[in-house]
Structure 1
C-alpha cells in the first residue's frame, strides 16, 4: 500500500514515506516540491531553514531647497518591504511544514511534529530513518548517550529547551526504552563506538555518586505515553 502511494500521482499530494524507502522518498519529495508554486522557496525552507527578517536601514538624506532632511532610520523588515524572493521564502515555511507532515506516517509523526521549523523536521526524518538500519542496541546506547549529554545551549529559551527534551523523550518511547531497558549494562550492548560506551559509564557513575537518578524523570513520564 505504501509503495503504491509513493508511486501515485504527485500532483495531488506529496509521496508517502514507506519503511526502508527513505532514499527514494527524499528524492521524490524534492522533485515534488520543485513542481509546486514557489518551489525554489520551498526547497530553501528545508535545506537552509526559514527566512529571518533582517534590520532594514534607511540612509539619511540631506536637506535640499525643495525638501527637508531625512534622518537615518532602522526598522525590522516586514512582508511589505521584502524583496519578492525573500517574501516567497518567508511565506513558504508553513506550507513546507504541512507538506512534510502530510508525507509521513503516524509512527514518527509525534517526534517530527515537535520540531519548530521545516528544516528541523527534514533533519529529524533523516536521522530517524537512518536509525532504522542500526542495531537496536546501538539505538539504545545512542539515546542513552544523548540523555546523559543533554543540557541547555547558550542563550536558549525555556521553550526551546523543553521542546528538545520532549523530542528526545518521544524517541525513547518510540524505541520502547523503559526504565528497565535504560538500566541495562552498556557493556553488554553491541555498540560500534567504544568511546561512547566509556563516556556513558562515566556519566552513570557521576550521577550515581551525586544520588541524582536521571531515569526518575523517564519513570515519571513513562505511564502517560503522551507525545509532545
Structure 2
C-alpha cells in the first residue's frame, strides 16, 4: 500500500497529471500548465481551462443557388460534422482538459467540484477553494522541524 507522498510522486508522471498538494496551489497550477503544454493540442487544452469550452455556434445551410447568390435555410446549431479539423481538435481538448484537472485533484476536493462539466469551472473553483489556503514558506519550514 502506498503513502500520500508516493501518490503525489506517481501522479506527476507522464501518464498522469500532477496531483494537487493543497499546501502549494501555485506550484500545482504551474505543473498542470506544463503538463498540458506537453500534450497533443496542448494550446487548445490550456485555452479550454482559461477561456471555457469551445462554442460550436450556429450556421445556415445553402438550400439553392440563384442568380442573386445562394439561398440559405433557417439558422441551426452546428454539429460535429460541420466542424473543421481544428475545431474538432478544440472540442476534444475540452474533454481532455476536464479529465486532466479532475485526475489531478485530491478526492475531497474532487467531491466538492466534480459537478462542474467544463475545465474552466473546475479550475476557477479549485483556485477559489485553495488559493487563499496555501501555507507560507515559513509555515512549511516550521512543519519540517516539528
- Give your verdict on TM over 0.5: yes
**Preserved contact between residue 98 and residue 117 of structure 2 (Cα < 8 Å):** no
**CA displacement, residues 33-60 of structure 1 (integer Å, 9 cap, x when unaligned):** 1111111111111101011221113466
Aligned length: 130
Cα RMSD (Å) of the superposition?
2.6
More strand by percentage: 2
1:166-205 matches, within 5 Å, as none
Quick check: 2:49–2:119 contact (8 Å CA) kept in 1? Answer: yes
Paired position in structure 1 for 2:45: 42
Q: Which whole-Å CA distance do the structure 1 matches of 2:49 and 2:11 have between them? A: 23
Structure 2 segments unaligned to the other structure (5+ residues): 136-146
The superposition leaves residues 131-187 of structure 1 with CA deviations (integer Å, 9 ceiling, x where unpaired) of 4259xxxxxxxxxxxxxxxxxxxxxxxxxxxxxxxxxxxxxxxxxxxxxxxxxxxxx
User: For 1:47 and 1:93, how far apart are their aligned partners in 2?
Assistant: 11
Whether 1:22 aligns to 2:20 is no
The C-alpha deviation readout for 1:117-139, integer Å capped at 9, x for no partner, is 110000011001124259xxxxx
Please, what TM-score do these two structures have when normalized by structure 1?
Answer: 0.50
Higher RCO structure, 1 or 2 (CA under 8 Å, sep 6+): 2
Matched-pair contact (CA < 8 Å) for 1:33–1:39: yes
**Structure 1: gaps spanning 5 or more residues:** 135-228
Counterpart position of 2:108: 107
User: Can you list the C-alpha shifts for 1:6-54, whole angstroms capped at 9, x where unaligned?
Assistant: 5865311110001211111100101101111111111111101011221
Cα offsets for 1:72-107 (capped at 9, x unmatched): 123321211212222212122222211111101112
Structure-2 residue corresponding to 1:129: 130
Conserved 8 A contact 1:3-1:18: no
> Do 2:12 and 2:19's aligned partners in 1 also have CA atoms closer than 8 Å?
no
- Within a 5 Å distance, the mapping from 1:10-159 to structure 2 comes to 10-58=13-61, 61-63=65-67, 70-73=70-73, 74-133=75-134
TM-score where L is the length of structure 2 = 0.75
Residue 71 of structure 1 deviates from its aligned partner by 2.0
Larger Rg: 1
